[in-house]
Amino acid sequence: MKYLLFHLYFFPLLVMAQHNFDKAEKLYQQGQIEQAKNLLESVLKENPNHLKTLEYLGDIEGGSLHWDKAIFYYGKLKKLVPTDANYYYKYGGVLGMKAKGSNKFKAIGMIGEVKASFEKAILLNPKHIEARWALIELYLQLPSIIGGSEVKANQYANELSRLSAVDGYLSKGHIAEYFERYSEAEKQYKLAVAIGKSKNCYQKLANLYQNKMNRPDKASAVLQDFEKRKND
């Protein structure tokens, strides 16, 4: 009898929560973020540990630059599922963005956890490409006095090369561009274009010509080549 009463009371709530989640997910995918957020928050009240709801809310808050709220949602996900690499990656990402906007002393205290989060993502998923990209950027942006290192950035670029030739070339091009070795960056981006043939690859090369090498003619030629290949 008690089980029957429990079922009769809670089952409609579960059905309604699922209905609201499905509706919120559709709104989110349609770009109606605020409406999706309101529904997701109501779902979370009914089911505080609903993983996908927490992740969507983390994504929404991160996309709105509300770092503390995003950190809360991803942090909870890490605790609920400590074996999911993407939760650590996303947590490290928003924590890093908060550190970037904080004063230097506060930021220094956060860097270790940011780095550890990306490293944990790779430990849990050795093929995690995005976490390696994040670590490359971290080691490039950090001053050497607090851990910045071109050597470390190249280490992760080499790891990317073993996982994805295109990402390897793009990351090595990015590192060379960061240190103003534009001829080397051009070489790496051209290799990425030859293999990847994606819009991103072409755009990286075109941006290098346009913004760093003062060659708008070459930038235009690269983008024209992309359009031609796309239409072939």
For residues 122 and 114, is the Cβ–Cβ distance under 8 A? no
pLDDT at residue 7 is higher than 60: no
CA 89, 93, 95, 100 torsion: positive or negative?
positive
- 107 — pLDDT class (breaks 50, 70, 90): confident
The rounded mean pLDDT for the chain is 91
User: What secondary structure letter does DSSP report for 148?
Assistant: -
pTM above 0.85, yes or no: yes
Residue 205 banded pLDDT, cuts 50, 70, 90: very high
Amino acid symbol at 15? V
Q: Are 177 and 185 in contact (CB under 8 A)?
A: yes
What gap in Å lies between CA 131 and CA 128, rounded to an integer?
6
146 pLDDT exceeds 90?
no
pLDDT at 221 over 90: yes
Q: Which residue has the higher pLDDT, 21 or 169?
A: 169
pLDDT band (50, 70, 90) for residue 5: very low
Mean pLDDT of 84-92: 98
CA-only gyration radius of the chain, Å: 22
